[in-house]
Structures are given as structure tokens and as C-alpha cells.
Amino acid sequence: MALQCGIVGLPNVGKSTLFNCLSNAKAQSANFPFCTIEPNVGVITVPDDRLTKLVEMCQPKSVVPATVEIVDIAGLVKGASKGEGLGNKFLANIRETDAIIHVLRCFDDDNITHVDGSVDPVRDKEIIDYELQLKDLETVESRIAKTQKQAQTGGDKVAKMQLDVLLRYKEALDQGLPARSVSFDGQDEQKFARELFLLTNKPVLYVCNVDDGSAATGNAYVEAVREAVKGENAQILIVAAQTEADIAELDTWEERQEFLAEIGLEESGVSRLIRSAYALLDLQTYFTAGPDEVRAWTFMRGSKAPKCAGIIHTDFEKGFIRAEVIKYDDYVALGGETGVREAGKLGIEGKEYVVQDGDIMHFRFNV
């Protein structure tokens, strides 16, 4: 499923360091602005203890985990919406992503230059917010000029609906609020809103990049960010990017766990970030499990059984008959599919079944 999270932020906040930890695709990392010019794309495996357990139980010939695409995008500076720095390139790249991981510098280090000369994550956040909002305002005002004429002549109901959506967005953006702060009840309004592809309508995860000593509890910078985003319907994640880079250099799982324990963490920030990115894209996982293969399949939250079947092969969706569903907890507790069948816990579901995260599926179809 080709959905992408874009890592964004001002230059020198730790984006590329973090991306390097996430992916084998190494982004250049240097102590000067714009060292990342072309977006780097990494296909990242999603950590999932359920997959590990299914592999342990099935002992399959092959294992296929879920993945998510992460894109490292060039740093942005003031004036990007007007083409300053790499602004136009940045904005074009971010428009192509489905969600935003916004990295904020929340550490002091005199050896790492800040593009604005001082550390202030709230100011940094506002710089990027402002540039994205300006670009969205430009998009909305351009559409209003065209739609207004249609709405005023001939009683065009569709144009009137679109104008209402656009005016509500303009009102929010004029107040310095992101487009995602505006919601619509009607399906037509929601569809039109999505088709505008506004930059500030994308879901966002704020990643506070802290020093080693703040990885477990955060710091004053993190608290300032929490206060700044509390009305935004956005998540915050604390990660020490340089510490994650050190962890990535260790050879064994045991060494990495020992390192994490020393700094008061149960798991790496990278693992938490990958899972958060997966959830940010509104993605969930169902499994197929057997002696040949255990596989994690990615689907959009709320998808029905035929749609999920089509992820395996389009014929499965076209000829869908029914889905055999085993709940993950039942599969583990009853020792696998045979035990589930004997206990009468196998669910037979039709076309209206909404697949749940963790379901173990087998599709029946006829083409």
C-alpha cells in the first residue's frame, strides 16, 4: 500500500539522522542547511510482536512483515511559500505525502548550528506552520475566485457546497489554524475537502528530538511543544535521534536492549516512531498464517472484507464469497487454527464485515 509519511522540519533539527536510523537508505547528514536536497525514500518494516508470535507457532518457510514508506524531505526556511531556499521543492514533495512527521529540535548543542541562531521548538513549529498555511491559503483563494462565479450564476448546488467548504477553510487559515481543524459532516463536503490536497489537512505527528538524558522523560522544550499543540488533535513523540543512531550501530538485539535499559527505555524510539507513523496513516494489519508463509497485510482502518481480500489479489475481491476470521487472541490461546475450529471460534463473515486489526483471515472466492 503506497502511502507515505514525510519527515519535515527546519534544517539541522535531526531529520536525516532520524531517517538514517529508520532506513538502510542513508540520507547525507551534515552540519549545514539543505544537505538533504532530493527526498530520500525508505521502506521500513513495522515492528509487531503478533507477527513474531505467529512465526513462532507456525514455523513457516517465509515471513513477510508490514511496511511503511518514510520520506526525508529537504529542510524548510522562512519564505518557502514564496520560493525562498528550497521552498517550492519542499512544498511539492510534502504535497505528495499522506501524513507529516514534524521533527522539532528540543536539545542544546553549541556544535550544531541552528538556522535561526537559537533553540526554540515552538518558534520552529510556527515557521513551518505559517509557510504551509500560506500555501494553503493561496490554493483556497484561487479556488474561491473560480467557484464564486459558478455559485452565483445558475443556482449551481455543487458550486455552492464547494464555496462553503472553501470559505470555511479560508476563515480557519486566516486565523492561523490548520485546515485539519475544520471538519465536515456531509460526504460530498468531505470528498471535496480531500480533493483539495491541502498541506495542513494532513495528519501530523510532532517528534521532539531530545538529548540522551531526556529520552525517557522529556525536558522543558518538550513541555513547551505540548502546550503549543494541545488544541491541534496531534500526537507528540519523544526521540533522541543521536542516541537512536548509536543504538543502530550495535550488532545484537541483546546489546541494544541493554543500552535501552541503561537510559531508562523499554524499546527504541525508532520502533515507537514506526508504529506511530503506521497509525498516523490510518493503517492496520491483518494476517494470513500457515506452514508456507506468515504474512502481515496492510489495510485502511474501516475496510470491509472484500476490499481487504483485494489487497492479496484483485480476483479475491471480484469473486469474494466469504471470509473465515480468527481473532488473534483465540489463535494464540487455542494453539492455532485446528484448536480454533474445534472450539467453534472460527468466524464466517460476509461482504459487510469490517476487518479488525490483528484478524487472521482466509478468503473464499470464485472467479
CATH number at residue 350: 3.10.20.30
Q: Coil, strand or helix: which one is 103?
A: strand
Q: How far is CA 297 from each of CA 49, 68, 99, 188, 286, rounded to the nearest angstrom? A: 15, 11, 20, 30, 5
Q: Identify the pLDDT of residue 353.
A: 96
Is the same domain home to 308 and 335?
yes
Is the same domain home to 208 and 194?
no
Is the same domain home to 107 and 227?
yes
85: CATH: 3.40.50.300
156: CATH: 1.10.150.300
Is the same domain home to 179 and 317?
no
Is the same domain home to 237 and 164?
no
> Counting Cβ atoms within 10 Å, is residue 133 exposed (0-12), middle (13-18) or buried (19+)?
buried
Is the same domain home to 102 and 169?
no
Q: Identify the pLDDT of residue 237.
A: 93
Q: Identify the pLDDT of residue 271.
A: 85
16 marked ligand binding residue: yes
Q: Identify the pLDDT of residue 77.
A: 55
Is the same domain home to 93 and 234?
yes
Q: Which long-range contacts (CB under 8 A, 24 or more apart) does 243-250 make?
A: 243/212, 243/215, 243/269, 244/17, 244/18, 244/21, 244/268, 244/269, 244/270, 245/17, 245/20, 245/21, 247/21, 248/20, 248/21
- Residue at 295 is within a domain: no
Query: Containing domain of residue 165, as a range?
Result: 130-200
Is the same domain home to 41 and 167?
no
- Residue at 324 is within a domain: yes
Bridge partners for 206 per DSSP: 102, 236
**Which residue, of 180, 200, 220, is where some domain finishes?**
200
Average pLDDT per block of 10 residues along the chain, 367 residues long:
80 83 50 44 85 94 89 66 53 84 90 76 91 90 86 76 92 90 89 90 92 88 92 85 84 83 82 87 94 94 96 93 96 95 95 96 90
Is the same domain home to 207 and 105?
yes
- Residue at 11 is within a domain: yes
12 marked ligand binding residue: yes
146 marked ligand binding residue: no
Q: Identify the pLDDT of residue 122.
A: 94
Q: Identify the pLDDT of residue 75.
A: 63
Q: Identify the pLDDT of residue 79.
A: 55
Is the same domain home to 69 and 212?
yes
- Residue at 138 is within a domain: yes
Residue 207 in grid coordinates: 517528534
In the chain, how many domains are there? 3
- Residue at 196 is within a domain: yes
15 marked ligand binding residue: yes
Say what the pTM is: 0.80
**Which residue, of 182, 200, 218, is where some domain finishes?**
200
Is the same domain home to 220 and 347?
no
How far is 99 from 159, CA to CA, in rounded Å?
Answer: 28
Is the same domain home to 17 and 104?
yes
